[in-house]
Structure 1
């Protein structure tokens, strides 16, 4: 039985870069966390320690900083495409690049003052194999809650079931969503919820569609809500071919106030952080092109 080297990659993870644009008295900024992963003809460094085909991860970090200055950061997606294409096209030994970006938003307080927006984090993952590029945008930690219009009943009861059925419950989640664009080289179109086109406008439109579907769906299960959210995005955004969602069920449990002589008509709850249900799913077009895949 032989031993062989399997799939592998390497890169610089979590390079933090803040780019300030000093346009007169009114400044703006982009705040990113950039992770690069490269793969290709790299067997020798694993098998013999020959590093002649290895671009140091420190050089990858420096490229992020240099490109932030020389090219600027128009959007997370645009910056990711720029970096991924550079690493593959400039290094003969590198055949694939993956650039993952977290973008942290700031609220403007004045011409040059900002407050960090901690409600959610924008994400983008770019893959490039020398011929084809792929853009997957996303958002993590988008906390949403419906105080009513949610029920959960009619489920399987087995010997270990103690959960009571309910026709009126709080539905809360922290959305982790990613969506894949049909064409990384095409400028995203203007869509519902976006004032303009481009990657920023597309992100705003998809996020608005996710929120609108969550708030506007009478939910009989979080699974139903998940599908409604993905369906809404694909209906409104012809440039998106796939939506992946992970929705933790942030349970809000009714507090028993009877020991204190008080009723509780669905008004006082304890927010439990764990354990929690986790609902995951993909909503896709039946003619969606295959993804470049994980590597």
Structure 2
């Protein structure tokens, strides 16, 4: 019988991600202080925004690198807005000042983006060296961090994977400025959560297609990878199903505004998309459009 180890779980996750079209990049050319794959990101920006002048594209890239306040959640919210709404730039064209948006990701065409996996990514910040298990990049941006534990080790639980992520957030926060989703797993159970979420708010992804619940014979990690981390769903989820809410925190006796990042649960994601599809079809029928507006 093959012994289950954390490494074997890591390799399983990598293989499942490769089946979804991710490229495994085990020797990235980068400085350990850089969390962005700079060449990949700059190439993607040029590919996705060919009509925008080089200087404006460079300015968009610089805006991403200038996100650097002491508050990680505030930084993450700023980046999420730039990612999902485009980076605002100005440039002169035909003697006229023009405002435009530079897109870091092509949300409409998943295959126009570069999806890659790096396992055991070395990150050095303030002299501290850490290596998260798996980091998923889209166009050189580290958007998903996966922390794994061995299910045969009674001390290596989902809770310990969550606590490891908290350590990373405290010691190498630069990796999490761009983070969209955190994943914790022991190879069997797997849960996804937001950057600010407590452990109890991490949730399993229980369906790979939104039609049927996954069999209990399939590990939650595989279901999560197939369900939310496939290219199209991940892009859709990042763009439309992540919110930042402001709440008042008066626990200390001093009322302050706290930002909480929230992810939609799997059933919310599928329910909303089904409702949107139904509305589009009904609108098309009433307008006399014969082709399916979802597939055409």
- Same fold at TM > 0.5: no
Largest Rg, 1 or 2: 1
TM-score by length of 1: 0.30
**Structure number with higher strand proportion:** 1
Structure number with greater CO (CA < 8 Å, separation at least 6) is 2
Q: TM-score, length-normalised on structure 2?
A: 0.30
